[in-house]
Structure 1
Amino acid sequence: MDRQLASSAAAQEATRRALLSRRSGEGPRIRFGTDRAGMTAAARSESLTIGAVSRPTRRIRSIIFDTAVDDLRKQNIQLRGYEMHGAAFVELSWERPSAPGARGSIELRVPTLDVGKMLGFSEPLRRSIADRPLEARSVAETERRERLVERAQTRIAVCFDDGFVECGGRRVNFHEIELQLIEGAEEEFWNVAAELAPRVRARFLPMSEAELALARATGEGVAPAKARRPTLAEGASLDEAIVAALSACLDQFVANWPALQYQAPEEAIHQMRVSLRRLRAGVGMLRRGVASEALETAAARAKEIAATLGAARNLDVLVDMLVAGPLAQANGEPSFYALLDAVERRRIEAHAAVAALIAAPRTTQFVVDLRAALAARNWRAQPGEDGRARLDASAPGSAKQFAIRSLDRLHRRALKKSRDLAALTPEQRHHARIAFKKARYAAEFFESLFDAHAKSRRYLRRTAALQDELGAINDLAVAAELLRDLGASDPDIAPASAFAVGWCAHAREGAATDWKKTEKSLKKLETFWR
């Protein structure tokens, strides 16, 4: 009996230490949103019950403080107070200027969450808000159940949160499950997440409901996220480069999910589409170095998701083009406004399809499965003609070897595709654009391996400019195809549609681009990797 009590006490103490350490930001974490049925299924799942130690249910009241004019938010500072077990704590976190995206934090126990008394603990905080009064911007009440799961020498902290958040006069109920790796293999952590997600029909949450509610209340929304270029050490292995490059693509994809819910989802859709293009280009480039069923599956899923994003993006571009081009010359003709209304209806449907796809469990599964594959380094070296591995992907310096070969090949292919650019058909120019896009993405993936900052910037700037020039021509071709389809589906807007198609054709022919001059500048383009 004494041994059992000692064992139980030791397990509870291990749980307490692990759940306290989760606040330090150690180890990857993931948050899922679900419903009551999903919470029940998760709590009963083998993934989170076998080898698990539970703690008593806790009730937590959490408050985000700021001034009425959002002084703290404008400085990327968050002041959160919370109460549990009759004790009060404050957590102050901020973005580190030296490391964008990384945050520092401190946490203190305080006698009370009374904002007047709480301000006394920090003179810098008072200065940052210019002595304006703090107020509660959002309040969340949570019933939290916690577990520590031990699996294959891996320890994972799990929180089951049921509650509500009130912010800006609006109340939202939530059911969230958060997992964080405390100790052990990252591969095992993501395997647990991948097993759990389909059983609870989970949706990945880049931000909690409390954070989203605060963004709604401030009216600022969530800004779309652009691509982040991976940073690699000069002696990095190809394995490390694969993880860094594809993780950056995945990070950009999920970071744009919250922005879909705000005033300008068009840019979020565009950035998600870019992230998946980069991911697919990366997997395609890697085929000459490694073989991976998991990466191929991820690329196929990315293509499916990108198709829905692309349909919405094309309609966004078409609306802008109609307003700036044909509609500006319509002189109030009603049929042109009817055409714009028809395009807008399709656009609304396309945006709804994107929102439904992002919320769908299969999209969360795509994210989790790819994270698991990257953590497991689920690939093998591609054999050469003699059956031996072309390159040891785990060897130090193998990333640079692979990068030089890949960049040489992609650059030569892009130049070949753009040869005699002025005489190419629109379809051939489109293929040239794709070739330069792949070369540019590869250059961004591997840029940090080479000590040639000025050269790399020139290379990326020029290839991006060419991509934009060719992209504008391609956008006109896509717009014309959409307009023909609209005109065929509704006789009332057919005349306006036909006029707009003609406008697109005229705009393509009258493009100011001097293709011969462009081709000449491309031949002088200096590479940075040799």
Structure 2
Amino acid sequence: MNCPSAIPAPADAARGPRQRRSDGPHVRFSVDRAGMTAAMRSDCLSTGAVSRPPRRLRSIIFDTAADDLRRQNILLRGYEMHGASFVELSWSRPADAAGARSTIELRVPSLEVGELLGCSEDLRRQIADRPLEARCIAETERRERMIELADARVRVRFEDGALDYCGRRASFHELELALVEGEEARLWRLAAELARRAPLRCLPTSAAEMALHEMAGEEIRAVKTRRVTLTPRATLDEAIVAMAGACLDHFLANWPALVHSPAPEEAIHQLRVALRRLRAGLGLLRRGVDSEGLRRASGRAKEIAATLGEARNLDVLKDMLADGALAKAKDEPSYYALLDAVECRRAERHAAAKALIAAPETTQFALDLRATLAARDWRPAVAEGEHTLDPAAAGSARVFALRSLDRLHRKAMKKARGLAELTPQQRHGARIAFKKARYGAEFFESLFDSPSRARKYLKRSAALQDALGAANDMAVAADLLRAIGEEQPAAAPASAFAAGWCAHAQEARTADWRRIEKSLKSLEPFWR
């Protein structure tokens, strides 16, 4: 795609100069009408606030019937405010993993389609001269305040409106806090304080963005984690912010897929992965820094992951019964009673997962962690037998990484010794140890100039973790099957058959465990 990186300003000077805008730190929330009222009346958004008169905005998203602009990651939006018309053109490059967008904004005489296309020959080429049409229209009442704090200025927007798209109309209530001046930590502390006073929910994808997905017939897909990149001279402070921030971004990015996808299984999996990575990272940091905020975040992440884990275990069991190893139970007359029982439990656990993500407490968890990271609210930890690190010192991330990766690798290798003779519980312990070693290696990989060795280490440790994970899935499946058999007599014969098959499969893998243990000898640390 040829991104419109140099769209010329219009020749008519009356249309105004081209403007580029850069978004600073901000957070957006979804809220119901009662929550909006509570937020507007809260002391934290009223004290020291200067309010602007309410404004009504009419915004139109334009595209062709074939979605030419959307397919090229281009958004063309026109809006009217105070009797004036503006057009905003923004785009992103698919290769940009951070999802950053470039924006051009122009004042135009009107939102008539011909006027919009007259602004840019390049834009006309993007749509191959096919006609533009209004795809989504938003009518919004916006109230805006400027909060003057002792150490920051924060802009607050309250938006109530309705969207017309695809022949339907949907209302929305959204609130945004944006830092204008001051330290970023102040924004997140304010947001966290507000979340304790009003039922807010973090909004990774706005109502308008969701409407665009629906218009295009696109499924909201689960998102995988992004790679953490650190420089060799990075401080431990910088590493903490990068690691925990990436995990939190991964967690939030999968909220829309959980809520809106007709098949949320992958979103649940990615949410669990995000929280597992976060807990692993915060766990290894305890030898480097001491922080009450990070400890609270780890504890809350564990609670959220437990509910998601119940849903994920049933998703895995359903796949095993429908298409996997346990499909052999189809020969049992009670098989479909078992499958129905699993489906009922899955529906309940999926609903519980969605309710948990929508709960104000989960938004509070995310905001509190953001505030801790922005303020770098920790101090050096005193680790027994190790020299205390200054987390603000240049290169301290690499020093800490060497210590941590050595310790995690040694522990994992020790727990995997004699893999074939270990009990299922001991193999589960080995799996957790290798998971922590792998996540630690992924977090710190960029600090070491050995990409090929790092890839080899990560690939082999992931393969071992997968093998141990598959064995753990069998053990969990057997427990679930026995519980379902006890609760649902009609499903008991198939449940007993499948549980017995799980036990047999576990015992038959001795040769595999010996082969895997032998392969561990070639697992060489890339950081040494």
For 2:45 and 2:342, how far apart are their aligned partners in 1? 48
1:31-42 → structure 2 map (5 Å cutoff): 31-42=28-39
Q: Which amino acid aligns with 2:50?
A: V
Give the C-alpha shift of residue 263 in structure 1.
Answer: 2.2
2:455 to 454, 457, 461: 457
CA distance in 2, matches of 1:475, 1:115: 57
The unaligned stretches of length 5 or more in structure 1 are 1-21
- 1:354-369 counterparts in 2 under 5 A? 354-369=353-368
Report whether the alignment pairs 1:86 with 2:87: no
2:35 and 2:132 map into 1 onto residues whose CA distance is 37
Q: 1:36 offset after TM fit, Å?
A: 2.0
Partner of 1:412: 410
Say if 1:72 and 1:128, in contact at 8 Å, map to a contact too. Answer: yes
The 1:56–1:339 alpha-carbon spacing in structure 2 relative to 1, beyond 3 Å, is same
Which residue in 2 is equivalent to 1:314? 313
Deviation at 1:113, TM superposition (A): 1.7
Higher alpha-carbon deviation: 280-289 or 518-527: 518-527
Shift of 1:99: 2.9
Matched residue SS, 2:334: helix
Match of 1:243 in 2: 241
Is the 1:415–1:523 contact (alpha carbons within 8 Å) kept by the matching residues of 2? no
Query: Matched residues in 2 for 1:492 and 1:514: separation?
Result: 36
Matches within 5 A, 1:229-240: 229-240=227-238
In 2, Cα distance between the equivalents of 1:107 and 1:98? Answer: 23
SS of the residue corresponding to residue 389 of structure 2 reads coil
Aligned mate of 1:67, from 52, 64, 71: 64
Report the CA distance between 1:333 and its aligned residue: 5.1
Matches within 5 A, 1:249-328: 249-260=247-258, 261-325=260-324, 328=327
Indicate how the Cα distance of structure 1 residues 50 and 321 shifts in structure 2: closer, same or farther if over 3 A, else same.
Answer: same
Give the structure 2 partner of residue 14 of structure 1. Answer: none
Per-residue CA deviations over 1:323-377 (Å, capped at 9, x if unaligned) read: 1246643557552111111100110110000110011000000000000011111
Instruction: Find the counterpart in structure 1 of residue 352 from structure 2.
Output: 353
> Which residue pairs with 1:201 in the alignment?
199
Amino acid at match of 2:453: K
Q: How does 1:105-504 map to 2 (within 5 A)?
A: 105-260=103-258, 261-325=260-324, 328-330=327-329, 334-384=333-383, 390-504=388-502
Bigger drift between 427-436 and 122-131 goes to 122-131
Give the 3-state SS of the residue equivalent to 2:500 in structure 1: helix
Distance between the aligned counterparts of 2:109 and 2:474, measured in 1?
64
Deviation, 1:453, is 1.0
Q: 1:506 to 1:25 in 2, by over 3 A?
A: farther
Q: CA deviation at 1:46?
A: 1.9
Measure, in 2, the Cα distance between the counterparts of 1:408 and 1:58.
59
Cα distance in 2 for partners of 1:450, 1:464 equals: 19
Is the aligned partner of 1:43 residue 2:43?
Answer: no
The whole-number CA distance in structure 2 between the counterparts of 1:133 and 1:434 is: 56
Does structure 2 conserve the Cα–Cα contact (< 8 Å) formed by 1:230 and 1:248? yes
Contact 1:201/1:361 (<8 A) preserved: yes
Contact 2:201 2:363 in 1 (8 A): yes
SS in 2 for 1:222: coil
How many residues align structurally?
508
Residue 211 of structure 2: SS of its match in structure 1? helix
CA distance in 2, matches of 1:513, 1:65: 61
When structure 1 is superposed on structure 2, of 516-525 and 300-309 the one drifting more is 516-525
Q: Is the 8 A contact 1:312 1:350 kept in 2?
A: yes
Question: What secondary structure is seen at the aligned counterpart in 2 of 1:125?
Answer: helix
Alpha-carbon shift at residue 321 of structure 1 (Å): 0.4
In structure 1, C-alpha distance between the alignment counterparts of 2:372 and 2:251, rounded to whole Å: 17
Distance 1:510 1:135, change over 3 A: farther
Contact 2:20 2:104 in 1 (8 A): no
Distance between the aligned counterparts of 2:383 and 2:355, measured in 1?
43
C-alpha separation between the residues in 2 aligned to 1:210 and 1:183?
Answer: 28
Q: Verify: 1:28 aligned to 2:31, yes or no.
A: no
Partner of 2:4: none
Distance 2:453 2:213 in 1: 40
Task: Give the distance between the partners of 1:513 and 1:360, measured in 2 at CA.
Answer: 47
Partners of 2:26 and 2:179 within 8 A in 1: yes
Instruction: Describe the SS at the equivalent of 1:514.
Output: helix
Give 1:131 deviation, angstroms. Answer: 2.6
SS of match in other structure, 2:457: helix
Partner of 2:74: 77
SS at match of 1:113: coil
Q: Distance in 2 between matches of 1:498 and 1:435?
A: 32
Segments of structure 2 that go 5 or more residues without pairing to the other structure are 1-18
Write the distance in 2 (CA, Å) between the matches of 1:269 and 1:83: 40
Given the superposition, is the C-alpha separation of residues 97 and 33 from structure 1 closer, same or farther in structure 2, using an over 3 Å criterion?
Answer: closer
Contact 2:381–2:388 (CA<8 Å) still a contact in 1?
yes
CA deviations 1:141-164 (Å, max 9, x no partner) are 110011111212311111010111
Structure 1 pair 192–513 and aligned structure 2 pair: CA distance change class (3 A): farther
Q: 1:469-490: per-residue Cα shift (whole Å, max 9, x none)?
A: 1111111111111111000001
Distance 1:83 1:494 in 2: 65
TM-score of the pair, normalised by structure 2 = 0.92
Cα separation, 2, equivalents of 1:70 and 1:467 = 42
Q: What is the aligned partner in structure 2 of residue 54 from structure 1?
A: 51
Give % identity.
Answer: 66
Please say if residues 21 and 104 of structure 2, whose CA atoms lie closer than 8 Å, have aligned partners that are also in contact: no
* Bigger mean CA deviation after superposition, 518-527 or 399-408: 518-527
The C-alpha deviation readout for 1:402-449, integer Å capped at 9, x for no partner, is 000000000111111111112212211111111011011111111111
The farther-off stretch of 377-386 and 183-192 is 377-386
* In structure 2, C-alpha distance between the alignment counterparts of 1:147 and 1:405, rounded to whole Å: 49
CA contact (8 A) 2:293 2:369 kept: yes
Measure, in 2, the Cα distance between the counterparts of 1:143 and 1:172.
15
Q: Is the 8 A contact 1:327 1:336 kept in 2?
A: no
Distance 2:267 2:239 in 1: 26
Q: Distance in 1 between matches of 2:154 and 2:306?
A: 36
Distance 2:326 2:70 in 1: 40
| C-alpha distance after superposition, 1:268-319 (max 9, x if no partner) | 1100000000111111101111111111110000000001100000111111
